């Protein structure tokens, strides 16, 4: 790997305090960019507008979505801004181009009865109780999967029904859980979790079948298996439960800024996508029920 790229990644990890997952994402983007330039025999210090345009064309030919392309460009721009600060280059050639416009995609979410149908598929075994714990936790708090897998027992206040969450950018926030989640969590911690530990010790709430902290992939597998057992047809991921949390709260009248706080969004514009979901549901119900909605 190029020395300047490695220095940039170290800067993100140790000075900017970015998470390892974020730095790994930057690393993959820059490795691909570096490999492309190497194949084209182009130096990143001297690449011009024409070379940048060709790279954009290359991303399109490799079926990069608008979202992936814009993220990729953002990584490269950050790298060049770092090089400018280090006096390696004078300017960022990627400021000369704009990425493709992103298609607005409404987040997928579950209706309440769809969520309860997944809960009913969790049996009374230790893993079944663990699986229900995962569903109830994500549904009750709206936390990211990356946050859920890092919850420790010491982060939880059962009395106040609160959890201290360490989110993106090492920022902490408090999320809350309901009485149903509290009951499920207590049963899991006192019984199923002890069975999964098999005499070992762990500070983490969610464990796999070996008694080790569960991974993001592990939670995704749990959701996938439950979906295959269910009658649900649309695409559902662990993040769908976060979407469901936000959408249901807004539908029930919670202020969008309060939802923003619970989700840990830095910008209100990120949370506002859920108001579009609520509006779309309102439109559907109107067209379905108004006596003149179907008349020409």
pLDDT at 254 exceeding the cut of 80: yes
Q: Are 220 and 238 in contact (CB under 8 A)?
A: yes
Residue (of 246, 24, 265) closest to 168 by Cα position: 265
Residue 265: active-site member: yes
Looking at 65-69, 139-143, 215-219, 267-271, which range is the least confident one?
Answer: 267-271
pLDDT at 1 exceeding the cut of 70: no
pLDDT digits (tens, 9 = 90+) for 56-91: 888 888 888 888 888 889 999 999 999 999 999 999
Q: Are 165 and 151 in contact (CB under 8 A)?
A: yes
pLDDT of residue 291: 67
The helix-helix angle for 49-61 and 20-40 (nearest 10°) equals 110
Mean pLDDT of 131-144: 96
The number of helix segments (H) and strand segments (E) in the chain equals 14, 3
49 pLDDT tier (thresholds 50, 70, 90): confident
Across the beta sheet with 162-166, the strand order is: 156-157, 162-166, 172-176
pLDDT of residue 80: 93
Rounded to whole angstroms, what are the CA distances from 33 to 56, 77, 102, 232? 11, 12, 21, 40
Q: Distance (Å, rounded) from C-alpha 240 to C-alpha 134?
A: 13
pLDDT of residue 29: 92
pLDDT of residue 248: 86
pLDDT digits (tens, 9 = 90+) for 154-197: 999 999 999 999 988 778 999 999 999 999 999 999 999 999 99
Mean pLDDT of 217-233: 92
Q: Distance (Å, rounded) from C-alpha 135 to C-alpha 4?
A: 43
**From the candidates 152, 168, 173, 216, which is the catalytic residue?**
168
Residue 4: active-site member: no
* pLDDT greater at residue 215 or residue 231: 215
- Specify the CATH number of the domain 112-287: 1.10.443.10
What is the residue extent of each domain of the chain?
3-96, 112-287
Residue 239: active-site member: yes
Mean pLDDT of 247-262: 86
pLDDT of residue 233: 81
pLDDT of residue 171: 85
**From the candidates 4, 132, 193, 242, which is the catalytic residue?**
242
282 pLDDT tier (thresholds 50, 70, 90): low
Q: Whole-number mean pLDDT of the chain?
A: 88
Looking at 18-32, 70-84, 186-200, 262-276, which range is the least confident one?
Answer: 262-276
Q: What is the DSSP letter of 164?
A: E
**From the candidates 144, 188, 193, 243, which is the catalytic residue?**
144
Task: Match 């690449």 to its residue by tokens.
Answer: 47
The helix/strand/coil state of 157 is strand
* pLDDT greater at residue 115 or residue 282: 115
pLDDT at 273 exceeding the cut of 80: no
Q: What is the largest CA-CA distance in the chain?
A: 70
- Specify the CATH number of the domain 3-96: 1.10.150.130
pLDDT of residue 155: 97
- Cα dihedral sign for 37, 42, 45, 47? negative
pLDDT of residue 30: 93
Residue (of 154, 156, 144, 111) closest to 262 by Cα position: 144
101-124 per-residue burial string, b: 16 or more CB within 10 A, e: under 16: eeeeeeeebbeeebbebbeebbee
């Amino acid at each position: 790997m190029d020395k300047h790229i490695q220095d940039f990644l170290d800067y993100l990890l140790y000075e900017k305090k970015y998470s390892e997952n974020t730095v790994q994402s930057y690393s993959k983007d820059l490795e691909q960019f570096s490999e492309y330039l190497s194949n084209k025999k182009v130096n990143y210090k001297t690449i011009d507008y024409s070379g940048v345009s060709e790279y954009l064309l290359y991303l399109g030919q490799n079926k990069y979505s608008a979202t992936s392309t814009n993220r990729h460009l953002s990584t490269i721009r950050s790298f060049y801004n770092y090089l400018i600060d280090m006096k390696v280059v004078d300017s960022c050639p990627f400021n000369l181009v704009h990425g493709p416009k992103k298609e607005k995609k409404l987040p997928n979410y579950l209706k309440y009865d769809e969520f309860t149908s997944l809960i009913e598929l969790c049996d009374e075994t230790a893993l079944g109780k663990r699986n229900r714990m995962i569903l109830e936790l994500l549904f009750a708090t709206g936390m990211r999967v990356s946050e859920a897998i890092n919850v420790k027992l010491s982060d939880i206040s059962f009395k106040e029904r609160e959890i201290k969450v360490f989110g993106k950018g090492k920022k902490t926030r408090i999320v809350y859980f309901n009485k149903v989640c509290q009951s499920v969590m207590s049963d899991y911690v006192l019984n199923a979790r002890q069975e999964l530990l098999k005499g070992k010790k762990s500070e983490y709430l969610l464990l796999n079948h070996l008694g080790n902290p569960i991974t993001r992939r592990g939670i995704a597998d749990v959701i996938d298996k439950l979906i295959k057992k269910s009658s649900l047809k649309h695409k559902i991921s662990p993040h769908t439960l976060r979407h469901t949390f936000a959408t249901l709260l807004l539908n029930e009248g919670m202020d969008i800024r309060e939802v923003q706080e619970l989700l840990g969004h830095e910008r209100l514009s990120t949370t506002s996508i859920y108001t579009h979901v609520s509006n779309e549901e309102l439109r559907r119900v109107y067209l379905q029920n108004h006596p003149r909605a179907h008349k020409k």
